[in-house]
Amino acid sequence: IRTLAQLEHAFDLSADEREATGRHTGSLPVGITPYYASLMVRDDPRDPLRRTHIPVGQEYLRTPGESDDPLGEDGHAAVPGLVHRYPDRVLFLATGFCSTYCRYCTRSRMVGEPGGEYSFSYSQWDKALAYIEAHPEIRDVLVSGGDPLTIADDKLDYLLGRLKAIDHVEFVRMGSKVPVVLPQRITRNLIRTLKKHSPLWLSIHFTHPSELSPEVTEACSRLADAGIPLGSQTVLLKGVNDSVDTLKSLFHGLLMRRVRPYYLYQCDPISGSAHFRTPVEKGLEIIRGLRGHTTGYAVPTFVVDAPGGGGKIPLLPDYVAGRDGDDLLLTNYEGRVYRYPDPDGTLGAALAQGRAA
């Protein structure tokens, strides 16, 4: 579903949605698979999944601190489409195409432009592959985009085969939303292709428990049965999934489908995303509401991807209550304080001093 007419056919659009869609030009086009649209509510613009995919007027507002490339990826590209930010691993943007376009996309500046810089080309892949070959410190390659599972099986086979042939590349992982928005793409032939390139890990972009359909369950089951370890990545979004109950239900559903919650992201300050962003405290409140209250495997790491290219910075609720002499004072998940004997430590000392002062 890519045009206003197609959207009007599938949804009762609000005036705001209609106007915002009509106004749209450039990258981050409107795009929703019919399958994914079928999970959305036809007549309610407040439906969480719908809010993540149908533009609204707020998308055109620019607020302080926002930018088109907040993570500084373009500035850190080793070659076009390859970001070498951490010493031992790289992010390989293999395509600019997605089967759906999330309105809060971190790479909204570059995705969905036919003929754009990130359209598929072997010559671009070759330059990225040559860079990885020339850098023996790279042991982990994260293939993302765009969505790499939109690449045809034979081309994906070629790319994974080339990466696997590099001696120092220990393993490859992919980031994708396809299992959620186009589960029909997880065909037996795709599974055969991916299985050939083991060890291969997959991070799947999940947003909300309403995505956990029978089709998604089947897609996850095929991937997990193929020996592909599955993780999830979720962006914390205001009015969409910003409550303990919603995310707990999502993460429990993922564990049942053999997907381990990996990262919960603070929404990047991408241009026009203010209506999606929560205060950072909200993420901490959610982690506090999960840790200890449910299975440890259901608790992802909450991260802020540092604007300017500092990488992912994990944030945790503060469980250090202070220090009392040789004892470190720690707060448990119920808010009760416990003592841990830590005579040589200094952790919590500043807190204790602050309290004494």
Question: What token pair was written down for 178?
Answer: 């396809």
CA distance linking residue 27 with residue 116, whole number of Å: 9
Residue 66: exposure state from Cβ atoms within 10 A (0-12, 13-18, ≥19): middle
From 89, 107, 109, 205, residue interacting with ligand PLP (rule: CB under 6 A): 89
Q: Give the x-and-dash track for 287-326 against ligand PLP (CB under 6 A).
A: -------------------------x--------------
Q: Which amino acid, one-letter code, is at 355?
A: R
The answer to whether 82 contacts ligand PLP (rule: CB under 6 A) is: no
Q: Does 83 sit near ligand PLP (CB under 6 A)?
A: yes
Q: Is 102 designated active site?
A: yes
Indicate if the alpha-carbon torsion angle 269, 273, 279, 282 is positive or negative: negative
Per CB under 6 A, 338 contacts ligand PLP: no
Least distance CB 299 / ligand PLP (angstroms):
16
Assigned token pair, 42:
């036809």
Is 74 a known active-site residue? no
Show the site string, 134-173: x = touches ligand PLP by CB under 6 A, - = not: --------x-------------------------------
Longest pairwise C-alpha distance within the chain: 70
- Of 85, 139, 195, 252, which lies in the binding site for ligand PLP, with binding defined by CB under 6 A? 85
Distance CA 165, CA 195 (A): 15
Site string for ligand PLP, 28-67 (x = CB under 6 A): ----------------------------------------
The candidate with the shortest Cα–Cα distance to 121, out of 97, 91, 90, is: 97
d(CA 260, CA 46): 28
Q: Is 326 a catalytic residue?
A: no
- Among this protein's residues, is 305 annotated catalytic? yes
Known catalytic residue: 257? no
Q: Can you point out the beta strands (E) in 46-170?
A: 77-79, 82-86, 89-93, 140-144
In angstroms, the CA 337 to CA 335 distance is: 7
Please give the positions annotated as active site.
85-86, 89, 98, 102, 105, 107, 268, 305, 312
Provide the binding-site residues for ligand PLP, judged by CB under 6 A.
Answer: 83, 85-86, 89, 91, 142, 312
